[in-house]
């Protein structure tokens, strides 16, 4: 399990950090509303902060972020934000030290129910009594209340044809056989998602094509990359152009330039699943929940 996440989440984000950051410039309005509602001087922890786009939303907060990707944490530092490298399951902050936490598009990268539950428990551990956490995860239901998410609406913006979404993963990339035996059976069952289409599986790999100007990210990264033929630009739940995990060099068979293609692992949440997950954590209640542009979201409050 950890090997799968290392290959299809951790290594990929380090490799695509610069390009990924360039697509993460617009904070989501409802996340901003949550942050703006916090009292001046509140201590905020952004667990899985990425490039830090939420760390500067409310300058009246004492905000600190952490991310598993050292490359993304460096981008935060370059922007003047306080951030450090940390796993979301073990954040080196004191228990009950935070007035609020946010976990935006993070927990869906954990590959088991137990690890997703542990991620929620860690958020709750950080909160003071009465503190609140906002959690966003990618939704299986990209069409909700007869409204398509921006992710689906932008389907036609990608000009290159896509691979069949039912195609299974190839041999795990770059991992010695002895290191992959513990997770390759699960990985073999993962389908590669067709970007900007409805999901047909809850556990999948989502393609990300590295932009031409960011290919140096791959060379600079220490991760071992593999290639996969997939000639279409990727996107994620934000609706912003993206490109993805566990990588390969795509072949130019349709007029699109040859680019490295990565694949990130996702577990997309069905309606009610996030609330059920949070209900298993003691000492916290779901204050509210909602669907926001292809994401399931909850606001938690610690007892």
Q: How far, in Å, CA of 104 to CA of 118, rounded? A: 16
* Stretch (H or E) spanning 169: none
In the structure encoding, which two tokens stand for residue 260, read together? 């490295």
* Residue 42 φ then ψ, to 5°: -65, 145
pTM over 0.85: no
Q: How far, in Å, CA of 124 to CA of 121, rounded? A: 5
| Domains of the chain listed by start with CATH number | 2-141+269-302 (3.40.50.150), 143-267 (no CATH)
Q: Which residues are registered as beta bridge partners of 43?
A: 62
SS3 call for 204: strand
**pLDDT tens sequence for the chain (303 residues):** 689 999 999 999 999 999 999 999 899 999 999 999 999 999 999 999 999 999 999 999 999 999 999 999 999 999 999 999 999 999 999 999 999 999 999 999 999 999 999 999 999 999 999 999 999 999 999 999 888 888 888 765 543 433 343 444 443 343 333 334 444 656 678 999 998 999 999 999 999 988 865 555 544 443 334 433 333 323 344 333 333 335 554 433 344 456 789 999 999 999 999 999 999 999 999 999 999 999 999 999 999
Q: Which residues are registered as beta bridge partners of 135?
A: 103, 298
Closest by alpha carbon to 206, among 262, 166, 270? Answer: 262
* Residue 282 φ then ψ, to 5°: -75, 150
How far does Cα 126 stand from its chain's mean position? 20
In the structure encoding, which two tokens stand for residue 121, read together? 């428990």
* Residue 116 φ then ψ, to 5°: -65, -40
- Looking at residue 177, its pLDDT comes to 37
- Looking at residue 247, its pLDDT comes to 54
In the structure encoding, which two tokens stand for residue 125, read together? 């551990």
């Amino acid at each position: 399990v950890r090997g799968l996440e290392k290959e299809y989440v951790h290594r990929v984000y380090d490799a695509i950090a610069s390009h990924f950051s360039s697509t993460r410039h617009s904070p989501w309005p409802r996340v901003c509303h949550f942050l703006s509602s916090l009292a001046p001087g509140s201590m905020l922890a952004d667990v899985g902060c990425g490039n830090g786009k939420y760390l500067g939303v409310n300058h009246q907060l004492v905000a600190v972020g952490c991310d598993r990707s050292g490359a993304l944490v460096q981008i935060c530092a370059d922007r003047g934000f306080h951030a450090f490298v940390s796993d979301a399951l073990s954040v080196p902050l004191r228990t009950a030290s935070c007035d609020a936490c946010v976990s935006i598009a993070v927990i869906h990268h954990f590959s088991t129910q137990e690890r997703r539950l542990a991620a929620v428990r860690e958020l709750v551990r950080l909160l003071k009594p009465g503190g609140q956490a906002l959690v966003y995860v990618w939704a299986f239901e990209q069409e909700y209340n007869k409204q398509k998410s921006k992710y689906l609406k932008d389907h036609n913006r990608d000009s290159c044809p896509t691979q069949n979404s039912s195609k299974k993963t190839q041999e795990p990339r770059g991992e010695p056989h002895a290191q992959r035996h513990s997770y390759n059976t699960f990985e073999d069952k993962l389908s590669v998602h067709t970007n900007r289409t409805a999901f047909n599986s809850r556990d999948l790999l989502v393609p990300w094509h590295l932009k031409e100007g960011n290919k140096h990210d791959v060379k600079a990264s220490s991760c071992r990359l593999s290639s996969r033929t997939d000639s279409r630009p990727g996107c994620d739940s934000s609706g912003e152009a993206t490109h993805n995990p566990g990588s390969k060099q795509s072949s130019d068979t349709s007029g699109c330039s040859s680019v490295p293609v990565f694949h990130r692992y996702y577990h997309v949440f069905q309606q009610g699943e996030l609330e059920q997950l949070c209900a298993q954590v003691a000492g916290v209640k779901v204050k509210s929940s909602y669907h926001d542009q292809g994401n399931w979201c909850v606001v938690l409050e610690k007892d």
